[in-house]
Amino acid sequence: MRNKIFIIIIVLFLAGANIYQFFYAKNLRISLSKEVPSDVLKMVEPVNTSNPENPQASLPLNEKDVPKDAIRLSVSLNGFEPKEFSVKSGQKVILALKAVDSVHVFKFKNEKLSKVKIGIASGETKTIQFYAPKEKGDYEFFCDVPGHNEVGKMIVK
């Protein structure tokens, strides 16, 4: 009889602890999202500038938070706009991509730019920073979502 009571007490204690942790953690997440100043949140949104050799897309940005020197592209099921842009050989490039109507995945066909990729949902804008190749020429980019046929090119001068 004592064993049954002991087991019931332990089960109730563990259940109570889990319920408390669930609600405590939920309240902690809610309070953090309300209390973090917007200027601190912006610090994590812009382009990863720590290592341009290993580019990473930013978190979704508001249009007003896109760097002024960014090359802006939009993508829809009708294609990229503009369809091409030019950069200088070896130039640091900040690319801002906005998805107009669907989920899209921006990638380059050239292996040298294989680390440059951005996945975005409809209505989102993200940025990525990288260095243009030193070799001059045309570098085709595309949407890597199956069934999408959007293509464009970066011209390195």
Domain CATH for 132: 2.60.40.420
Rounded distance between C-alpha atoms, residue 40 and residue 19, angstroms: 32
**Based on the domain organization, do 139 and 68 belong to the same domain?**
yes
**Based on the domain organization, do 94 and 109 belong to the same domain?**
yes
Q: What is the DSSP string of 30-97?
A: HHHHHHS-HHHHHHHSS---S-TTS--PPPP--GGGS-TTPEEEEEETTEEESSEEEE-TT-EEEEEE
Number of domains the chain is built from: 2
**Based on the domain organization, do 19 and 46 belong to the same domain?**
no
**Based on the domain organization, do 151 and 103 belong to the same domain?**
yes
**Based on the domain organization, do 100 and 136 belong to the same domain?**
yes
Locate 94 and state its tokens: 């900040």
**Based on the domain organization, do 83 and 28 belong to the same domain?**
no
Identify the pLDDT of residue 48.
Answer: 43
**Based on the domain organization, do 131 and 145 belong to the same domain?**
yes
Could you report the per-residue pLDDT of 82-98, keeping only the tens digit for each? 999 999 999 999 999 99
Residues of the domain holding 9: 2-35
CA distances to 46, 66, 108, 144, 152 from 63, in Å = 11, 6, 24, 24, 22
**Based on the domain organization, do 8 and 65 belong to the same domain?**
no
Locate 156 and state its tokens: 């390195």
**Based on the domain organization, do 60 and 112 belong to the same domain?**
yes
Could you report the per-residue pLDDT of 98-146, keeping only the tens digit for each? 999 989 999 999 999 999 998 999 999 999 999 999 999 999 999 999 9
DSSP β-bridge partners for residue 139: 154
Question: pLDDT: is 49 or 74 the higher one?
Answer: 74
**Based on the domain organization, do 27 and 86 belong to the same domain?**
no
pTM: 0.64
